[in-house]
Amino acid sequence: MERICRVGTRTSPLALRQADEFLEKLRKHHRHFRYEITGVDTLGDMDKKTPISEVEGTDFFTRELDDAVLGRLADFAVHSAKDLPESLKAGLTLAALTSSIDVNDVLVSRRNLKLDELPYGAKIGASSLRRKTQLKEYRPDFRIVDIRGNIGERLGLMDETDLDAVVLAAAGLIRLGLKERITERIPLEIMKPHPLQGALAAVARSDDYEMIGILSAVDARTGVGV
């Protein structure tokens, strides 16, 4: 009997698009691959008040998906690679890591002004400590505001509040068909990206050798993935 794989993913528009993208890659190698999507809301989806800078490196965005895989409610889970915790839970393995589609952080500004064109004291929304720190190093006059939420919610904050701009990952906007919202790709010498930004990761049970073998077809670390 053909195996139907249950694929765990968060339920945000970006997470669902990422799962689709990963599965499109997988089907190039396994043409008859069959799957069902298992949507899971993680703590990171439900708690939109805790600053990202306080939970970086933890399983804030993966915990419930990890539990779904370990509990056999899903055969593997697809994540933004940069959301992975520093250490996976016992019983799990990183079965595949794709190449990034775009490593850059980007600026989206209200008046389409680039980073150097923003007025003195401009108010910029950012999430990670990395982005906040690098923005302040480049322009100490910036007022950095912590923002949370999915990409649509972050763009809405800029559109509906007094934020002059927000900093986001290029990959997320590209995947959601929002490339036209990008004001500027921030030069890498100004903002060094997360090393896994724009890449996708698949996490499976360590003892599920069949699934690990299937997922290895798109693992960029082996040199055979796409």
Q: Is 116 a catalytic residue?
A: no
33 alpha carbon, distance to own chain's centre: 24
Dig out the tokens for 162 from the structure. 């007094």
**C-alpha closest to that of 199 among 215, 180, 221:** 221
**C-alpha closest to that of 194 among 127, 106, 104:** 104
Give the torsion sign (CA, 111, 157, 78, 191).
positive
By the 8 A CB rule, do 88 and 63 touch? no
CA 5 vs CA 78, 197, 211: distances in Å:
12, 26, 9
| Cα 154 to Cα 137: distance, rounded to the nearest angstrom | 23
Would you call 208 helix, strand, or coil by DSSP?
coil
| Cα 27 to Cα 164: distance, rounded to the nearest angstrom | 42
Burial (Cβ within 10 Å: 0-12, 13-18, ≥19) of residue 90: exposed
Selecting among 83, 102, 208, 219, the annotated active-site residue is 83
| Cα 23 to Cα 41: distance, rounded to the nearest angstrom | 20
Residue positions annotated with a catalytic role? 83
